[in-house]
Chains A and B, each alone.
Chain A
């Protein structure tokens, strides 16, 4: 049954080809094609999963390239990790495509949207199945492309156009590291296959460098500090895209990459601890920003960054199980949250949470699923988020990192706080502005309901032994986070947040401005880069090309000087001589000009020089 795994990405690719070529004629039918394709993929993924449970494995499909005699096959890897992710991606992907039918129903580029979604699905599934670095890299860039295309889908908006570019370039900076890492790996170990990573037989220092370079790719894709800046901006894309690509699947690819190449990381802990600390910084930083942001999608975006940071943190301390578990659960509830946010935006046409309020009454399904998702992410037992977060926390502590554990706990606390800040502000209280909210159509609410079910029950896919200490910590987090939010936004509405804000105005300002990281990049990287480009261009024009033109110019000048010499010096002397001869001789006066004598003089001079050379040089 496993043998059909390579067909999983195929159908979305076919759907992409059909939609991009005939999209204009297909119109709304293109959604049917895309959804059908991803449903087929889902079915095959399920079959593959079943096959895997019976004992499947990896296999090669065909030769792609060979590097100096070392062949590179296009292969498929089927293991627990890939099967889990395949299921997640196909389920979430299919649901989101269904949702998109409603969300995008009056968009003029409807079919193109579905074409891109299919391309994304194909690339993402290919990425998951890849059994070597080159194939992974290809699909890795493929999903990056789709992300670019979909972020700037509404390209008429300058912000969307810019955000797409920012996403592509920022992730590409990370990918450059990944590429160098791949090259380095190939030439140190002569292999590009994941299966060989456990037994490479190269020295530790090199291994650390390779692992860190590969981690660079993950940092870019999963929006980890310091390459996280693109993800909040990516919210300019349509909300289903944010849900699918920038919450559930593509951004998780970085975590997936670390998990996939875990053999490389655990071989030497020098690299792994970097993963942990980068994750920790990211998690805390993004969580703090989420607490002060007012844009419904950006709050979720920072939340995503933060959660991905937690996963990295878990992986970095050796918590493979917890990290990958959270990867799965997060996909469900974060997709759910985004879709809920989309549904809200769809209804109220604004993204500022302080313009909303009291929506729960008008949007029952959206509201309640939103709450379920928030409970899940906050880690309320027994929802899925609780199990995975619990496992991560206990692993961090078990591996002996109390400091990182504290960060993880604070992050989780903040998570619960900002999520319920969102819930309380958006769904409860009174409407803050004139909004004509209405519930979204069934095509949008049904996926919400399905995802809510997954968000609740996904935690049971993996049996986890509950420790009482951890349960206590979790309860503290949940109650602390939600309780504070309740105090701030329901009880002390308007007064309390403002007074806290004014008390810590300096800190507030820094966080509100996202730690000025964008500004720092602008000043330290983008502007210098642009000036360097300008400098190079003017250098090229003035100096390099200038040298060429100077040569041409000089030969022209030489020609002029010689002509001038001929005309004026010789002629001038000529005129003088002519004048003298005019005085001396009547014969030469008739000649009027004395050209000839001078010419002859020069000829004689030349002759004399020749003879002189002979006399001095020769004898």
Chain B
């Protein structure tokens, strides 16, 4: 039996978490060390996975398939292909960096790192699971530590934000559970295996049935993405969560919804996906433009970034709606890029908040003079986020738009306007925070420190690398996307 790489990736954090439970509470150094080591190992393993991955193949790789509950045909089935590999790397990378970013957390550290690691296992498992039941289990496992992480270490309205996040996302996912069950009983033989269900070997589902099941999955995924009008948990959760958790929330959790569309909704429910293409495009448009407008009016730095996520995830919807190779590639890449960029932005907001204890954009001003390095890094991430060519955000937005344009010209053309608004609010933010005369309140503010820089530089490197040479990551995903489009009968463009 080969080394179970994927199991190791998934459960390494949990294992470390259990070890942390056994360590005395006051040995904080050791606890941090264990957590960092575990997430570091996961990162190394995921890089190993990247190097061992054959990107000419669209098949599942490193598969592990064991029977779990044979009575109802549930398997412990993990695997990775071009669709999930980028997201796993993203999770591992952000998981490690946010762990380093968590050193600023000073209270109840043992609980924090345990929950943090549990969260990591949940996220990694979600992207690796190929059995719907297993997928659902990991999906839900994410909720609980997230609730605590927001609720205990969050900001002033943490309790409200935490329970809202929990209930809201749970409300979506229970309908997903019903859809999973419906698929199971509709398939012949009954199976939870995503690949089998997508292959059509288990029977072809009627269109009406597909639409209902799709709607069930949609509730689960759309709330996570989040798609308008299910997005209001996000600003609350983002704003109240501690910095590293905001990073994971924006960087990884939102991707779980998009990934669900890629892995489950589209391949398994092809007819419904085609049926819902137009609504998806319209929702994508609303997300892009509406999110941008709302972001523009925010004065809370974190809230603004949170709404920018709503806007950026609209490109994922648009790319998906296009049913084209270009659009799908763009949407998938957009998820990865958004994770990196927004993760970075949240880290940067955290840097500022740690020093100033406020996030009110209007209270800053002229920080560029006192914090030149910070200003530079913030500018790079902002520019990436507003889709400046040469940085990663542009490539994926451009591809999503290109894909969208094939299918929905008018909608896509209006979506492009979102780019202008995005530029508007981001630059307006830069102007108010970094530029202008130095606000006297911040004369003593110190520039970004080494540890903070350490968490940001890798992300910046990825942003620039993908912006300059996007094939680096597109190569991984293109074969799988091409096969997916072929299977669902999309446009090979």
Please list the residues of chain A having a beta carbon within 8 angstroms of any beta carbon in chain B. Answer: 20, 63-70, 109, 112, 134, 137-142, 145, 148-149, 152, 155-158, 160-162, 164-165, 168-169, 172-173, 176, 179-180, 183-184, 186-187, 529-530, 532-534, 536-538, 540, 544-545, 547-548, 552
Contacts and interface: CB of A to CB of B under 8 A. Distances in A.
Given A179-B398, A533-B293, 13 more contacts: A64-B469, A65-B471, A65-B474, A67-B326, A140-B389, A148-B427, A161-B431, A165-B431, A168-B423, A187-B402, A529-B296, A544-B229, A552-B164
A533 B294 contact: yes
Interface string B135-147: 0000000000000
A70 B474 CA distance: 14
Nearest to A138: B389
Contact of A67 (B389, B399, B428, B435): B399
B471 A64 contact: yes
Nearest to A136: B389
A137 B372 CA distance: 29
Nearest to B412: A183
B361 interface: no
Contact of B366 (A148, A156, A544, A548): A156
A536 B469 CA distance: 37
Leading 7 A-B pairs by shortest Cβ distance: A161-B435, A68-B493, A138-B389, A537-B297, A545-B232, A533-B296, A155-B435
Contacts of A70: 493
Given A68-B492, A138-B394, A536-B290, A155 B366 contact: yes
Contacts of B427: 148, 164-165, 168-169
B293 A184 contact: no
B491 interface: yes
**Which of B233, B423, B428 has the largest number of chain A CB atoms within 10 A?**
B423
Given A67-B493, A141-B390, A172 B419 contact: yes
B470 A65 contact: yes
A165 B428 contact: yes
Contact of A176 (B376, B406, B419, B471): B419
B296 A155 contact: no
Contacts of B372: 109, 112
A186 B294 contact: no
**Which of A67, A69, A165 has the largest number of chain B CB atoms within 10 A?**
A67
Contacts of B458: none
A547 B229 CA distance: 10
Contacts of B471: 63-65
Contacts of B168: 548
A30 to B, nearest CB: 14
A152 B295 CA distance: 23
Contacts of A134: 398
Contact of B390 (A142, A157, A160, A169): A142
A529 B293 CA distance: 8
A547 B168 CA distance: 12
A545 B416 CA distance: 26
Contacts of A161: 431, 435-436
B164 A548 contact: yes
B431 A162 contact: yes
Contact of B389 (A66, A141, A162, A538): A141
Nearest to A538: B297
Interface string B378-408: 0100010000111000110011011101100
8 contacts: A68-B403, A68-B492, A145-B383, A179-B401, A529-B424, A536-B290, A538-B297, A545-B232
Contacts of A173: 420
Contact of B388 (A145, A156, A537): A145
Contact of B413 (A155, A169, A180, A544): A180
A70 B325 CA distance: 11
B290 to A, nearest CB: 6
B416 A176 contact: yes
Contacts of B295: 533
B250 to A, nearest CB: 18
A189 B433 CA distance: 44
A538 B423 CA distance: 21
Contacts of B297: 530, 533-534, 536-538
B437 interface: yes
A183 B423 contact: no
A544 B424 contact: no
A137 to B, nearest CB: 6
A613 to B, nearest CB: 28
Contacts of A156: 366, 369, 435-438
B402 A67 contact: yes
B173 to A, nearest CB: 16
Contact of A179 (B383, B419, B430): B419
B461 interface: no
A207 to B, nearest CB: 16
A179 B395 CA distance: 13
Nearest to B424: A169
B413 to A, nearest CB: 5
B420 A169 contact: yes
Nearest to B366: A156
A409 to B, nearest CB: 37
Contact of A69 (B325, B376, B401, B469): B325
Given A68-B325, A537-B294, A540-B232, A172 B423 contact: yes
B368 interface: yes
Contacts of A537: 293-294, 296-298
Nearest to B167: A552
Nearest to B368: A155
A593 B121 CA distance: 55
Interface in B470-484: 470-471, 474, 478
A152 B325 contact: no
Contact of B405 (A139, A145, A157, A183): A183
Contacts of A530: 296-297
B265 interface: no
Contacts of B389: 137-142
Contacts of A168: 423, 427
B326 A536 contact: no
Interface in B84-108: none
B407 to A, nearest CB: 10
Given A67-B326, A155-B366, A141 B470 contact: no
Interface in B15-42: none
A545 B307 CA distance: 13
Given A137-B389, A138-B389, A155-B436, A184 B366 contact: no
